Structure 1
Amino acid sequence: MNERIYRVLEFNKIIDRLIDKADTSLGKTLAKQTKPKTDLETVLNLQAETDQAVQVLRLNQTLPFGGISDIRPSVKRAEIGGILSAAECLQVQSTLYGTKNIKRFMDQMEEPEAPLIRALTEELEPLSPLEREIKSCIDEHGHVMDAASDALRQIRSKIRTSESRIRERLEALTRTKSNMLSDAIVTIRNDRYVLPVKQEYRQAIGGIVHDQSASGQTLFMEPQAVVDVNNQLSEAKAKEQIEIEKILKELSLKIAEEHVALRHNIDVLSALDLIFARGKLSQAMHAAMPKMNDRGFIEMKQARHPLLTDEEVVANDITLGEDYHAIVITGPNTGGKTVTLKLVGLLTLMAQSGLQVPAQDGCELAVFEDVFADIGDEQSIEQSLSTFSSHMTNIVDILAHINDKTLVLFDELGAGTDPQEGAALAMAILDEVVKKQARVIATTHYPELKAYGYNRDGVINASVEFNVETLRPTYRLLIGVPGRSNAFDISRRLGLDESLILAAKELIGTDTKSVDHMIASLDTARRQAEDDYLKAEAYVEEAAELKRDLERKWQEFEQERDRLLEKAEQKAEKAVEKARAEAEAVVQTIREMKSQHELKEHEWIEARKLFDEAKPSLTKKQQKQVDKKVKDETLEVGDDVHLVTLNQNGTIVEKISNKEFQVQVGMMKMKVKKNQLEKLQPKKETVTRPVATVKNKGSDTKPELDLRGERYEDALQQLEKYIDDALLQGYPRVTIIHGKGTGALRKGVQEFAKRHRHIKSATAGSAQEGGSGVTIFEFK
């Protein structure tokens, strides 16, 4: 793409707006380099990225680019063996922190899908160990912390001790020798603590003079009493600098080891910032994603020039490249012809750069290898070229490079010379461009070119509308309608005598052949429009009939659906009744078995199997309907729910958001997404009846549980399962061995006992049983 076109079509102003939308210096640098691409696949990918960014922004979301900066110079210095400053290391840490935030944001974002943006963020490497290493050494202000190394901690401790001793001695002197001092303060000169001593008391104080006031009446002296301690302080500070340099050197080496990943992160972060900058610019311009093709076809719907204000801009429909490859726009000056020309060229450049265009959805643009334009007054005094010569020089260069993959824009083609010769040249130039199958839009004043559009295949006339009533242009483009002179109408409205207007009309010469062609063409167009209108009416009637047919079938479908649902409910009710009867029979069988003898393990399993077989079965479709009904219900605090992923039941204790809840599962609390929860229906209150305890003689459950050495969460899960087994076994009391340790596990065991409805008491064991290292549960 030739560089001149960016200035002519003011593409650089669009890039300036894009740069303003970027959040980081990385994105701004990349935005400044934005140029139109000439490969269809690349352009489609850029447009898809921008559209996905717009979808994210539409949901009031955006990537958190805070803390990210261009660390490439620092990484390069580290790579070649340089030692980075603490501030540079902090920039690396901050950028890695920002990288981690972006990855976390995309992981938590459920909608929209945004696969291209997600794919980019997956390439980011947070390098958490390196980030933590830098953070442990350098604070948020860019200072190396005492904790960076043991040696630095000791050195700084010595520095603080020395400074404290020096201040104590100097402050004592300020109290005892205040009359000898200009001011009773301790200050610093040449990194050494000094006192402001009056000139006449120099000998009385004694020590080293480091500075004096402008008048010479005050000497800044280091008393002899603190010279040795000041020397020790200076040595310690020198050691501090050596140790700091050692720490920074180690950090620089670690940064150098990750230079490939760090550079790749910067490249990805730059690309992400640019993508979202394009999305933000699209929102600001109320733009839409265009379809793209490589056939040279352009169809703009209500396209608006992006550099005009809402009050100035007029939306236009423009089609080019299918039935015709050239548009010749005629009409008065200041009518909007040049704006229309620039609109087509500018939107083409924007689309090929991955930017959405200010137009209605459904517009389509082409990917061109080159866009050429001859617009405006290119006269060059320095080169001694006239306006016509300058234009022709530019046009000659354009004609040498055009093909079927180029878009050409001519403003006032052939202007600046004799009208007859200029018109002839304009037609010859247009013939050459059309012959090479380039797409071309040209504006002109020449009336001869109005006939040209009717005498050439692949060429169509257009004009900008002019309101004779208001004597102002409307800036609306009319495709297929040639521009006509409004001089007589305007003169009449301005009060020119009618006889003069008639006389002027008599003096006009007409090209009969051209007029005949034009009239014939207009008649053909009129008849085509009438035929299209009749076809449109037929389509409307057909669509109305189709709508009525669909409404009738939909009503029949709803009736059939209701009938099937009623039938399914009846069938389900019968299945439940049958299951209830079978369950009653199973209960009776168990009672009879219990009255005869104690249940064996295999008898108990058989009884459980009978219960399972009594459960009514649902089809997969019915089960999905049940699941959907449960999922569609509103979840609130206190609701009992089932965790699908863990296959556990719990209770909602906190509503974090509409999509996330905190759930209590046993002893644990966890954050769970709504789509992973199923609301459990509340149990109906029933009369509690005494049930005989069923002993399971085949079980190997012991009367004690040893939880020592277990993790807290794992220990409580084991405890919950053990209590269930112990209750089934029929133990009256059990011993829980948790050890003494920090006391956290003991406290957790006792808290568990308070919440369990079957545990009567929980007491510490006796000295012989293990004392506070065990807890005895008594069951109700």
Structure 2
Amino acid sequence: MNERILGVLEFGKIIEKLTGYAETSLGKDAAQRLKPSTELPEVVKLQNETDEAQQVLRLKGHIPFGGIRNIKPHLKRTSIGGVLSATECVDVATTIYGGKELKRFVEEMEEPDMPILRELVDIIHPLPILERTIRNSIDDNGVVMDGASDTLRSIRSRINTLESRLRDKMESYTKQQSEKLSDAIVTIRNERYVLPVKQEYRGSIKGIVHDQSSSGATLFIEPQPVVDINNDLQEARVQEKREVDRILGELSEAIEEDRPILAENVRVLAGLDFIFARAKLGRSMGAAMPAMNNEGRILMKQARHPLISEEEVVPNDIELGTDFTSIIITGPNTGGKTVTLKLVGLCTLMAQAGLQIPAMDGCELAVFDNVYADIGDEQSIEQSLSTFSSHMTNIVDILDKVDDSTLVLFDELGAGTDPQEGAALAMAILDEVVDKDARVIATTHYPELKAYGYNRENVVNASVEFNIETLEPTYRLLIGVPGRSNAFEISRRLGLREDVISAAKERVGVDSESVESMIASLDEARREAEADYERAEEIRREAEEIYSELNSEWKRFEDQKEKLYKKAEEKAKQSVDKAREEAQGIVDELKQMKNSSELKEHEWIEARKMFDEAEPELTKKEKQPKNKQSNETKELQAGDEVKLLTLNQQGVIVEKGRNDEYQVQVGSMKVKAKRKDLEFVKTKKPEREKQIAPVRGKTSHVKPELDLRGERYEDALNRLEKYLDDALLAGYPQVSIIHGKGTGALRQGVQSLAKRHSRISTARSGGMKEGGSGVTVLELK
């Protein structure tokens, strides 16, 4: 994109806002380098990244970026053999920790589907050994700790001992010879402990003079008895520094060994911070993700200018590229025409940069190769060009480059010269651009261009609304309605005499007057349409209320019906229980008489079972056969399953007797029944089905899910293949394979096997209540 266009449309201000939402210097650098892309696949990927980050913010409200530093310069130094400072080593450790925490945060989220973010965090390697090594050697303040090495601990112990001896010696001077000191303190000069001795006592305290006060009245003397201790202390400190440098050198070498991984981690962390900065910017604007196309189609509902506060901005609906490719906007000054131009241009640039736009969901924007704009007074003083000449220079450049993948924005086209010539020139320029199938939005004051919008194919008029009553613009964009000049109405309301207004109207040409009349008619039609819409909306709301009331009444009816069913069932159950008790008494009496009967014990048991199963199921509404007549006249054969209506039991036809009578096997008893008392259920199963049935029953113990977590890759896949055979025999339509998240290798193995298995129709990741990405659901066929 042309840098001048980015400046004209104020894209830089969007970048400033975006940079403010980045939490790391890495993310801020990426935000400052952001430019719109002209490749549709790349723009779609950027938009998907932003949308996934928006999902995380919606669910969690934040994402942790604490501790992450820009360690690129540190890694560059280690690559050329440099040694990092303790603070720089800590920066590396905190960055490793920050990356580990961010990776854990994303991996633990199960609700949204976030393939892009999950793929990015998979790249992050925590490097726990390097982090622990640095943490064990350097504290959070960047100080190498005593425990970094045994040598360092020993050296620092010796330093502490020497300092203690030195303080004791020096304090004896401050106590015993305080009158010879200008101040009873111990101070340091040239990294050695000294005493502030008065000039007149120079000979009383033997030692080395390291400094004197500006007045010369005080000498800073290192007493002779502590010189050796000071020397030993200096030597120990040199040893300490040497040991610290050695430790830092080893840590730098360890960092260098992992430099490729660290560099990749930094790249991913910078990208993630940049992605979430885009999402935070969108959230602050109440923005939505636009669908992108390369067909020049723009559709925005309730779009707002990104740089105008939500309290001041007026949302507008904008459509371009479907029924028409060009919009001519007319209307008064300060009415919002230029704001509309910048809104469309800036939202286009934002969308092509992967940013969401401030509009309602369902918006759509196009990816253009170029966006050109001629907006505002760009007069060049250096070139001594007039306003008109400056605009024409810009327009000439645009006409040389415009094509069908271009968005062109003209503000006050043809202004700055003779009105008649300017209008003609504006129409010629529009002809040139429209003929090249570019997408065009132009603003103008010329009435001739209002008629141009009606006479030209693919061009539509629009206007910004003006309230005659308040003499103020409403900033509403009205597509399909050209703007009226309103000069006479405004003048009348401001007090201009009617005779002056009448004289002015007489001077207006017939064509101009007819155009204004047409516009007035269209405006009136628009107002009537809006009123009709409001009435229709009111009727719709009333219909929804009526529907809601009817729905509630129907629910109450269903609840009441269910209660009545239950009450009837309880009453029937009481009757059946009473009948069962009476029947049991009869059975008991018959049982006492069985010695003289031929009935056997198992027949008595079967009879009692039939009594127990005779209870009606009132809540189950049995479906009646569609053709009762055909069921009664159907010829029954041996082996057919039937229902004996008199006993409410199922049985199997044994044979057909005389006079339309059948012998039916019911349990262990054989009963004779008339055809009218039998209801056909199903035909005897073929021999092949009888052979298969036991196999299906045998495998019915197979569970509808298989847990492979903790298994080796090859063992898991072998086990999965056997399980699929059992599940298919069991007749399951769907099974769940639990493989966990982990590295993703087992998940990929399961999905690869699913693709090549002939009896698996689809394989998908589990939903929110199915285990998320740790489960693969297989549809069997």
TM-score scaled to structure 2, two decimals? 0.68
Cα RMSD (Å) of the superposition?
Answer: 3.8
Matched, 1:496 2:496: yes
Contact 1:54 1:279 in 2 (8 A): yes
Secondary structure at 2:168 match in 1: helix
Q: Which residue of 2 aligns with 1:760?
A: none
Q: Aligned runs of 1:194-205 on 2, under 5 Å?
A: 194-205=194-205
Query: Distance in 2 between the 1:307 and 1:274 partners?
Result: 20
Matched, 1:130 2:135: no
Percent identical across equivalent pairs?
64
Q: Aligned runs of 1:601-612 on 2, under 5 Å?
A: none
Query: Distance in 2 between the 1:559 and 1:404 partners?
Result: 66
Secondary structure at 2:126 match in 1: coil
Query: Distance in 2 between the 1:58 and 1:565 partners?
Result: 46
Contact 1:451 1:518 in 2 (8 A): no
Q: Which runs of 4+ in 1 moved over 4 A?
A: 512-530, 543-566, 619-624, 674-677
Contact 1:388 1:416 in 2 (8 A): yes
Contact 1:89 1:252 in 2 (8 A): yes
Q: Which residue of 1 aligns with 2:609?
A: none
Q: Which residue of 2 aligns with 1:109?
A: 109
Tell me: CA distance 1:49–1:240, structure 2 relative to 1, closer, same or farther (3 Å): same
| AA in 1 matched with 2:426 | A
Q: Aligned runs of 1:24-423 on 2, under 5 Å?
A: 24-423=24-423
> How much does 1:3 deviate?
0.8
Contact 1:455 1:517 in 2 (8 A): no
Query: Distance in 1 between the 2:112 and 2:71 partners?
Result: 31
Contact 2:484 2:519 in 1 (8 A): no
Contact 1:379 1:386 in 2 (8 A): yes
Tell me: CA distance 1:358–1:154, structure 2 relative to 1, closer, same or farther (3 Å): same
> How much does 1:513 deviate?
12
> How much does 1:526 deviate?
8.3
Secondary structure at 1:328 match in 2: strand
Secondary structure at 1:414 match in 2: coil
Query: Distance in 1 between the 2:247 and 2:409 partners?
Result: 63
Tell me: CA distance 1:552–1:297, structure 2 relative to 1, closer, same or farther (3 Å): farther
Query: Distance in 2 between the 1:437 and 1:550 partners?
Result: 52
Query: Distance in 2 between the 1:403 and 1:563 partners?
Result: 75
Query: Distance in 1 between the 2:5 and 2:242 partners?
Result: 58
| AA in 1 matched with 2:139 | D
> How much does 1:561 deviate?
11
Query: Distance in 2 between the 1:354 and 1:180 partners?
Result: 77
Query: Distance in 1 between the 2:563 and 2:188 partners?
Result: 93
Contact 2:15 2:31 in 1 (8 A): yes
Q: Aligned runs of 1:568-647 on 2, under 5 Å?
A: none
Tell me: CA distance 1:559–1:12, structure 2 relative to 1, closer, same or farther (3 Å): farther
Q: Which runs of 5+ in 2 are unaligned?
A: 571-697, 706-737, 739-767, 772-781
Tell me: CA distance 1:204–1:84, structure 2 relative to 1, closer, same or farther (3 Å): same
Query: Distance in 2 between the 1:101 and 1:61 partners?
Result: 16
Query: Distance in 1 between the 2:214 and 2:517 partners?
Result: 99
Contact 1:155 1:239 in 2 (8 A): yes
| AA in 2 matched with 1:112 | P
Q: Which residue of 1 aligns with 2:640?
A: none
> How much does 1:217 deviate?
2.1
Secondary structure at 1:246 match in 2: helix
Query: Distance in 1 between the 2:277 and 2:320 partners?
Result: 30
Tell me: CA distance 1:339–1:95, structure 2 relative to 1, closer, same or farther (3 Å): same
> How much does 1:564 deviate?
13
Query: Distance in 2 between the 1:422 and 1:345 partners?
Result: 24
Secondary structure at 1:329 match in 2: strand
Query: Distance in 1 between the 2:769 and 2:469 partners?
Result: 64
Secondary structure at 2:312 match in 1: coil
Contact 2:481 2:523 in 1 (8 A): no
Query: Distance in 2 between the 1:519 and 1:271 partners?
Result: 52
| AA in 2 matched with 1:385 | L
Contact 2:24 2:65 in 1 (8 A): yes
Query: Distance in 2 between the 1:498 and 1:513 partners?
Result: 18
Tell me: CA distance 1:621–1:560, structure 2 relative to 1, closer, same or farther (3 Å): farther
Count of matched residue pairs: 577
Contact 1:380 1:390 in 2 (8 A): yes
> How much does 1:203 deviate?
2.4
Q: Aligned runs of 1:472-491 on 2, under 5 Å?
A: 472-491=472-491
> How much does 1:676 deviate?
12
Q: Which residue of 2 aligns with 1:464?
A: 464
Q: Which residue of 2 aligns with 1:663?
A: none
Tell me: CA distance 1:107–1:563, structure 2 relative to 1, closer, same or farther (3 Å): farther
Tell me: CA distance 1:193–1:367, structure 2 relative to 1, closer, same or farther (3 Å): same
Secondary structure at 1:54 match in 2: helix
Query: Distance in 1 between the 2:262 and 2:99 partners?
Result: 10
Deviations 1:172-217 (A, max 9, x none): 2333323322222222211111222222322222111111122222
> How much does 1:518 deviate?
5.9
| AA in 1 matched with 2:501 | I
> How much does 1:60 deviate?
4.2
> How much does 1:110 deviate?
3.4
Contact 2:375 2:409 in 1 (8 A): yes
Moved more, 196-205 or 361-370: 196-205
Deviations 1:308-356 (A, max 9, x none): 1233211111110011000000111111111111111111111111111
Q: Which residue of 1 aligns with 2:23?
A: 23
Tell me: CA distance 1:475–1:528, structure 2 relative to 1, closer, same or farther (3 Å): closer
Tell me: CA distance 1:357–1:187, structure 2 relative to 1, closer, same or farther (3 Å): same
| AA in 2 matched with 1:38 | T
Query: Distance in 2 between the 1:519 and 1:487 partners?
Result: 14
Q: Which runs of 5+ in 1 are unaligned?
A: 570-616, 625-644, 646-673, 678-780
Query: Distance in 1 between the 2:769 and 2:169 partners?
Result: 71
Q: Which residue of 1 aligns with 2:628?
A: none
Secondary structure at 1:221 match in 2: strand
Matched, 1:511 2:511: yes
Tell me: CA distance 1:226–1:364, structure 2 relative to 1, closer, same or farther (3 Å): same
> How much does 1:524 deviate?
14
Query: Distance in 1 between the 2:445 and 2:70 partners?
Result: 53
Query: Distance in 2 between the 1:471 and 1:522 partners?
Result: 20
Tell me: CA distance 1:675–1:58, structure 2 relative to 1, closer, same or farther (3 Å): closer
Secondary structure at 2:401 match in 1: coil
> How much does 1:516 deviate?
11
Tell me: CA distance 1:255–1:562, structure 2 relative to 1, closer, same or farther (3 Å): farther
Contact 1:454 1:521 in 2 (8 A): no
Query: Distance in 1 between the 2:209 and 2:45 partners?
Result: 73
Q: Which residue of 1 aligns with 2:445?
A: 445
Query: Distance in 2 between the 1:159 and 1:249 partners?
Result: 23
| AA in 2 matched with 1:243 | E
Deviations 1:149-179 (A, max 9, x none): 1111111111111111112222223333233
